[in-house]
Structure 1
Amino acid sequence: MTIGDCRFAAIDFESAGAARGRTDVPVQVGLATWSPAAGHGERFMSYLASDAPITWSARKVHGIRDEDLHGAPPLLALWPQMKKHLAGAVVVAHGKGTEKRFLRAFPGHGFGPWVDTLLLSRAAWPDLPDHSLSALCEGCGLAPVLESHHSGGRWHDALYDALASLLLLEHLIAHHDLAGRPLDTLLRPDTATWHRLRR
C-alpha cells in the first residue's frame, strides 16, 4: 500500500501527571483523521473521568482542572468512538509512547500500524535544535493552518495537538514527495543522522 492510499488517524492524550506511588492516567483525548485522497475528516475530543487528581505540574502544562472532568466518561466507555476513528487507519502521534500506553486500556484493540511524527521529523530535519510539535509547526509555517482548523486552540489541548500532528505529517509527505512511496517509508524512518549529531 502506498502512503497516498492510506487513511491516517492522529491521537493525543493529556494526563493527570505522574505522582509518587501512583500510575499516570489520561484526562483528555483528541482524535483527528486525514487522508491524501479525501483531506481532513472527522474529529473527536473528550475529557476523561479520573480517580487521580490532576497534579499542579500537569495543570501548568495543559490547563485542565479537576472540575473540567466532572461528568466525563471513563476511557473504556469511549470504545465505540475510538474504534470508529482508529480501526483500519494508520495511527499517528508525536512521540507515540504515551498514546500506545494509554490505549492498552482496550485489550487486543489491534490499532495500528503507528507513525511517529517525532521520529519522522528527526529523520527529515536532523540538524534542527528542537523537534517538539510546537517548534516544528512554527518552523514549517503551519501555525496559521492549524489555527484555521482549530480556531482558538492551544498547545497541550488533545485535539489541537492531534491536528498539529496530522498537519505536520501532511507537510512531511508533500515536502518530501512521499505520496507514491510505500507506507513502510513512514513506519521506519532513519534517525541515524540525528543520533550521530547528538553524540
Structure 2
Amino acid sequence: MTASWVAIDFETANRNSGSPCAVGMVAVENGVVTDWMSTFIQPPAAHSHFEPFNTRVHGIRSSDVQGAPGWAEALTKIVAFADGRPLVAHNAAFDMRVLRAACTAEGLPWPTMTYACSLVVARKTWQQVSHTLPACAKTIGYRLDDHHEAGADAAASAHVMLAALRHHGVASLNELLQKIQVGFGTISPDGWKGSHSISASSKPAALPGVNPDADPMGPFYGRQVYVTGKLGSMTKAEAMAAIADVGGIPSTKVTKQTNVLVVGTPNPRAFSTGAEKTNNHKKAETMLAEGLDIELIAEADFLERLNS
C-alpha cells in the first residue's frame, strides 16, 4: 500500500559513498507524518575518515559518531523502521548508493527495497530554476532550518512528496508516479534499478562523446553542465572531468543548450555594478522563464549527484 511510505536521508563522512555517518527517517501514513528516527553511524572501517568539506556541509565530526551504531546495526534499524514500506529520498540515487556501498564495504547483502525520488518528482511537478531540497521546501512553504541534518532533510523530502501528491490530486505514491510517468526504483541482493522518468525509452542509447560506461539513468547523463565560481572540493578542470566521467557534457559557457549550472563561490568581480547576482545566474533565470531546461545547484548537491 503506497499511501504509507518512509522518507530517508543519509549524510556521509567523506566523498566515498560507503561512508554513512548519519541517517534520518520519517514515516508517512495517509498523508500524515506518524513517526521518525535518526541516528549517527560509525562509517565502515574502510571509509571511516572525515573530510573537511563534508564536515563543513553537515557539521558532523569523528567524535560525534563515537559509540554510535556501526553499519550492520544501523542497517537493521533502517530495515526495521521501513518495515517493507517504499522509501522516498531527495536525489534518491545518492542515498541508495550510500546504502549499497556501505553494505558492500561491510560484506553485507543489499536489502530488498522499493523507492521513489522526490527530486525526480519535483522536476515533473514545479518549473523553477533549482530543484534542490531547500529550493523545493521554499516552493511548498516548508521551513527547512537545518539543511544537511539527516532527520531534517528526511522530513523536508517527505513534505515535498506530500505537496506533490496534493498538487497532482492523488493519494498514493503509485498513483502519483503513474500520473507523471516515473518508475519506482528497486534494490535487492540481486541488483538495483533507479527511479527515473519512463515517459521516453527506459534506457536511452549511448550518446556520442559520452563515457560509454556511464549510467544512462545518472542525473547528469547527456546533460550539458557548466560550473561557475570556485569549488571548495576540486578544481574546475577536475569538475569537468568528473562530469564527463558520469556521462555529462561539460560546457565552456552558459548557452541555451546548458541544462545545469553548478554555482560555486562567486568572484565579486563577476558581478555587474549594483548587481546582486552574477550574469550567469541572471541568464539562467531568463532561460528558465523562456521555458528552457536549466537548473541551478550548489556544490554540495553537485557532489551528491556525482556520487549517485
Report the TM-score, using the length of structure 2 for normalisation. 0.53
Give the secondary-structure state (helix, strand or coil) at the position aligned to 2:113.
Answer: coil
Distance 1:53 1:124 in 2: 38
Equivalent of 2:13, from 4, 13, 16?
Answer: 16
5+ residue gaps, structure 1? 147-152
1:29-57: CA deviation from partner (whole Å, max 9, x where unpaired): 111100226x2122111111134221111
Match of 1:109?
111
Match of 1:80?
76
Counterpart check, 1:99 vs 2:95: yes
Match of 1:56?
52
Distance 1:140 1:184 in 2: 19
Equivalent of 2:66, from 63, 67, 70?
Answer: 70
5+ residue gaps, structure 2? 184-195, 200-258, 260-290, 295-308
1:55-99: CA deviation from partner (whole Å, max 9, x where unpaired): 111111111111111111112112332122223211100001121
- How many residue pairs get aligned? The number is 181
Q: Would the alpha carbon gap of residues 72 and 8 (structure 1) be closer, same or farther in structure 2, given more than 3 Å must change?
A: same
Distance 1:85 1:24 in 2: 21
Equivalent of 2:170, from 169, 174, 178?
Answer: 178
Give the secondary-structure state (helix, strand or coil) at the position aligned to 1:134.
Answer: helix
Match of 1:150?
none
Match of 1:27?
21
Match of 2:287?
none
Distance 1:108 1:58 in 2: 25
Match of 1:149?
none
- One-letter code aligned to 1:13: F
Distance 1:137 1:101 in 2: 24
**Is contact 2:10–2:24 with CA below 8 Å preserved after alignment?**
yes
Q: Would the alpha carbon gap of residues 183 and 137 (structure 1) be closer, same or farther in structure 2, given more than 3 Å must change?
A: closer
Give the secondary-structure state (helix, strand or coil) at the position aligned to 1:9.
Answer: strand
**Is contact 1:119–1:191 with CA below 8 Å preserved after alignment?**
no
Distance apart, 1:191 and its partner CA? 8.8
Distance 1:129 1:23 in 2: 27
Q: Would the alpha carbon gap of residues 191 and 131 (structure 1) be closer, same or farther in structure 2, given more than 3 Å must change?
A: farther
Higher helix proportion: 1
Match of 1:197?
292
The higher relative CO (CA closer than 8 Å, separation ≥ 6) is in 1
Which one has a bigger Cα radius of gyration? 2
- Across the aligned residues of Structure 1 and Structure 2, the Cα RMSD in angstroms comes to 2.6
Distance apart, 1:182 and its partner CA? 2.7
Distance apart, 1:166 and its partner CA? 0.4
